[in-house]
Amino acid sequence: MEEKRLEDLAFLNRYYESGLTNILVVYGHRNTAYKELLLRFMENRRSFYFSARSVSEREQLFLWGNELKAKSIEVSEYPTYTEVLENCIGESVKIPTILVFDSFEYAVRASRNFMEELTDFMDKNGRSKQILVILLSQDINWVENSMVSSLGNLSAKIAGFRKIKPLPFSDLRAHFPNMSYRDAVLTYSILGGQTGLWRYFDDKYSFKENVCKNILDEASFLHGEPYRLTEYNLRETAVYHTILSQMARGVNKLNDLYHATGFSRAKISVYLKTLIHHDLAYKAYSFGNAGRENVIKGVYKIADPLLDFYFRFIFHNESSLTLMPAEKFYDIFISAGIQKYANEYFKSVCREYIFKLEEKGLFPFEIGDDGEWIGKDGTIDLIMQSDTGDTALAICSWQQQITHADFEKLISCASKAKLEGDYYYLFSTTGFDQWLVDAAAKSDGKIRLIGIDELTNV
């Protein structure tokens, strides 16, 4: 199991092994495969799993009652939540019991009875028996922004929260051992760290073959997932799709979106906020407080890689996809732009590389803060800074050689950002010009060139 998932599992095990009764909330993006984590946690332990549906309270209880009857547990035709809980725990059970309620927001929205009866049952029975209740949700926005107000004082009964986050690039590489480094980066630029999507790619195929078979094919799961993702999380999808379509074209400031969409600024602001709350978009901020006069402010970007890829390459060209073979569509509409597109995700790969160096004690200082700088006349891809001001600046160049001119541009941007680089990390998968090679050799480690070999073997 991946390191980050082992940390998630350890979080759950700490509560299980504590001997105490608790309620936990575990949530995350629908494609982070958090259910697989829970199944691993429940393995060989006394546990019950219930999936809540978007139905009335009466129907919910009828369905849960039938699920218990299928386990030869007798309950009423329309049991109460308390009756469901009593029959799960039992009178004579001495070992810990895990109760998992998936998509629990549906039960909460249907009635306050669910949480009231659950917490009351835990108060009455949780001292004599260990009960661990895990409330699962893939509605990030609801959990982070509405759940507490929905539950009121009952939210104080929740002992802990765990957000299941996407995995890093290194885990994707381990998952696809036969995939080339370049294909792995391109794959990460579409699937990201969302492990629930990794199963749809196969490392016996090239990147192009995977895209054609598993995204462009209208019968494939990934072809329809962007629509399912927006329709599950959002209401007025026509508005959101319009905004996402423009953002994918590079229209990423509020005023520019106003002119491009025709929607009011107030409306766009509300919809962008909702996209951010669902982890589908984010507002990019520049590192530090100095040099603010040279910064582009209010830049919004698509956060979900699959959505980003879909709206960048497919959404605008869906009619053409219907009329031509997938391979031809890829060659015409994707091939020319995929490398530039992937460069944004290559930055996160380089960032991970730097933190792995730090973890191994191979980075020149302990990183206290990091970020990027988005200037009016250029950007700094990565900035790493210690608590005492040591600073490393980086260029991340995917499939393009880094030149002396690029380095001079970095120095110029650093000056406008009022940053002084102590170290420079230059990442390129296609190499460096001779000036940089010579300069790095004479820099006593101040300029570090990281090529494809170093990236591959970290």
The CATH code of the domain that includes 268 is 1.10.10
Q: Is residue 353 part of a domain?
A: no
CA distance 367 to 394: 14
pLDDT for 293-340, tens place per residue?
Answer: 999 999 999 999 999 999 999 999 999 999 999 999 999 999 999 999
pLDDT band at 93 (very low <50, low <70, confident <90, very high): low
Q: From 432, 438, 423, 424, select the one nearest 451 (Cα to Cα).
A: 432
pLDDT for 384-413, tens place per residue?
Answer: 999 999 999 999 999 999 999 999 999 999
Residues 294 and 401 in one domain: no
Fill in the amino acid letter for 358.
E
Last residue of a domain, one of 164, 185, 206: 164
Residues 200 and 116 in one domain: no
pLDDT for 17-76, tens place per residue?
Answer: 999 999 999 999 999 988 889 999 999 999 999 999 999 999 999 999 999 999 999 999
Residues 204 and 106 in one domain: no
pLDDT of res. 48: 95
What whole-number percentage of the chain has pLDDT above 90?
Answer: 93
pLDDT for 336-392, tens place per residue?
Answer: 999 999 999 999 999 999 999 999 999 999 999 999 999 999 999 999 999 999 999
Residues 144 and 194 in one domain: no
pTM confidence score:
0.93
pLDDT of res. 305: 97
pLDDT band at 146 (very low <50, low <70, confident <90, very high): very high
**Stated length of the chain:** 458
Phi, psi of 93, deg, nearest 5 = -70, 125
The CATH code of the domain that includes 105 is 3.40.50.300
Residues 196 and 325 in one domain: yes
Residues 142 and 248 in one domain: no
Residues 383 and 309 in one domain: no
Q: Average pLDDT over the chain, rounded to whole?
A: 95
pLDDT of res. 1: 67
pLDDT for 425-448, tens place per residue?
Answer: 999 999 999 999 999 999 999 999
Residues 258 and 384 in one domain: no
pLDDT for 112-136, tens place per residue?
Answer: 999 999 999 999 998 889 999 999 9
Q: Is residue 347 part of a domain?
A: no
CA distance 60 to 56: 6
CA distance 75 to 396: 61
For the chain, the domain total comes to: 3
Residues 332 and 254 in one domain: yes
